[in-house]
Amino acid sequence: MIRSTQFFAVLLVAALVASWWEWTAEEPVDLEGKVVVLEGDAEAVQAVRWIGEDTEATVTRLSDERGDYFWVDYTRWTERTKPAPESSDTGEAAEPEVERTATRSVFKSAKRALSIMKNLSPLAAKRSLEVNDPAKLVQLGLDEPASRLEIDRGGKTEVMEIGTEAYGTRDYYARHQGSGRIYMLERDLIQPLKYARTRLPDRTLYSFERASIAMATLSVDGQSAAWNQTHADDKQAAHWSPVGAPDEEAEQANDWLDKLLNLKGTKYADPDDPPTDLRPRFALTLKTVDDSETLEVMQVGDEGDWYGRSAHTRGLIKLVRSGASDLSEEASALLTSSAE
């Protein structure tokens, strides 16, 4: 009798605990009718890989003293049919050969990569599908999937096998490799990775909003000049003034800084094969109330390509030759006029 009473007491405690958990647990995320495929935090995603027939992309989370950022390694494959030589024995042409060439690029990603991590946390599908017919799997491109999406999170890799595009919506049929369940994933989850070279690069040269910049210091060959930004929060009235002369507008500096702050990079240099013989041309240090960044502008030799580097870019990024060259020539003249 005592044992029976103890047994029912344990059951009662367990029921009370379950009831308490049900009432105090957080509400599930509102996914607007979508189906949760994979749970997990965006901050826990270490890498995302797209492996397709013609493109491959790996987005990796890295970290330094300035915080987290994302580095992308992207490869695009192209095919070219080579003319087949004639057979010396029969005089007939042999089968043409298909030459497959890889073009690789690496770059730091913009905020779009962070959006990708958030969209995968949780990973939600438009709907799940019950597919038991092998012929239907062929139709969905999931009998032998040619593409896949891999997510590294918390020491575990989840794989989504990607099939064909759905007619009309062009969303993607997908199968979770672990469970075998089939879903329809939104097109916007896949496209930024499939076309990462054009959709993910961060081509900006500094991280500050223009209105937050308080001072800019230009340095060329040991000489320097500095300007404060006045009325920075008003686009119409904002202008640059020599340090110590807030009422004086430096027109030449205004023009030069406007061009510099609108300058963008084109493509990143490969850290494993960086350009050599880089020669410094000028540097610009931007300061906010509590932070600063220095953009170094360099040229390969005297006639070569131009590159920029800052704490924001984390690496060398090629600059438009005409824009960087003009800014470099004007920088010396700007220092001369500022000294007068």
pLDDT (0 to 100) of residue 118: 95
pLDDT (0 to 100) of residue 41: 95
Rounded to whole angstroms, how far apart are CA atoms 204 and 207?
7
Q: Contact at 8 Å (CB) between 47 and 60?
A: yes
pLDDT (0 to 100) of residue 88: 56
Burial of 234 (0-12, 13-18, 19+ CB in 10 A): exposed
Looking at residue 318, its amino acid is K
pLDDT (0 to 100) of residue 71: 97
Which of 224, 228, 234 has its CA nearest to residue 214?
228
Beta strands in the chain (DSSP E): 35-38, 45-51, 55-64, 67-82, 97-108, 123-125, 127-129, 147-153, 156-165, 172-176, 182-185, 215-220, 223-230, 239-242, 265-268, 278-287, 292-300, 306-309, 317-319
pLDDT (0 to 100) of residue 247: 74
Tell me, yes or no, if the pTM score tops 0.85: no
pLDDT (0 to 100) of residue 16: 43
Q: From the first residue on, what is the mean pLDDT of each consecutive set of 10 residues in the chain (340 residues)?
A: 48 42 37 87 97 96 94 93 66 73 93 94 94 93 96 96 93 96 95 95 95 96 93 89 83 94 95 95 96 97 97 96 95 80
Six-digit token pair at 103? 């073009």
3-state SS assignment for residue 251: helix
User: Which strands form 97-108's sheet, in the order they lie side by side?
Assistant: 97-108, 67-82, 55-64, 45-51, 147-153, 156-165, 172-176, 182-185, 127-129
Rounded to whole angstroms, how far apart are CA atoms 64 and 154?
20
